[in-house]
Amino acid sequence: MDQELLDRAQTGDSAAFGELYDRHHAVVWRFVVHRIHSVTVAEDLVQDTFLEILKHRDRFDAERGVSFETFLCSIADKLIRKHRRRQARTLAYLEWLRPQAAAGGTDSTFEQKANQVMDLNKATLKLPERQQEVLHLSDAEEFSMQEIVETVGITLPAVKSLLFRAREGMKKLLKPGGKK
């Protein structure tokens, strides 16, 4: 059914595209919003995901046994990674702009928590991109190993290896005196 709707949408059938959107919007929305934690950005990425299916329609083949929702989530995942790369560049720029705190000054509790979150984000961004992705899918999204395999498109042993290396990398980055 999804393959047929996608074929029709590819030829400009807006009703078919609308039906695909209505059927799968909620799944893609949950997938994106849980990874991005910003409703505004998530809305944009969900819209972009559905527009991308028209460009990459040839990559979906229902006969391969991959669900249409997995196909959509893999597209969303690529868009999320692209967004995070842009976000990392912006964060680096903002860090460069942020004035240094005066020596001996004390941070408020809010600022301390914000700094802890920033440290965690910075540490995560130091991991290779695939490790970031697998770690997030496993720990934040609570995807099963098989769901990660299908979403990311790599083998189960590769997923397990990336997840192990990501967790070890985070331990090293977050321990006192670790590279930040």
User: Would 122 be classed as within a structural domain?
Assistant: yes
Residues 11 and 70 in one domain: yes
Residues 127 and 176 in one domain: yes
Residues 3 and 79 in one domain: yes
Residues 123 and 167 in one domain: yes
Percent of the chain predicted with pLDDT > 70: 78
Exposed/middle/buried for residue 110 (C-beta within 10 Å: 0-12, 13-18, 19+): exposed
Residues 6 or more apart whose Cβ sits within 8 Å of residue 105: none
We report the CATH number of the domain holding residue 144 as 1.10.10.10
Residues 19 and 76 in one domain: yes
Residues 147 and 115 in one domain: yes
CB 159 within 8 A of CB 152: yes
Q: Read off the tokens for 21.
A: 């959107």
User: Would 43 be classed as within a structural domain?
Assistant: yes
Q: 154 to each of 7, 52, 131, how far by Cα in Å?
A: 27, 21, 12
User: Would 79 be classed as within a structural domain?
Assistant: yes
Domains identified in the chain, total number: 2
- Transcribe 32-68 into DSSP letters: HHHHH--HHHHHHHHHHHHHHHHHSGGG--GGGT--H
pTM over 0.85: no
| pLDDT 10s digits, 41-87 | 889 999 999 998 887 766 776 667 778 888 899 899 989 988 887 77
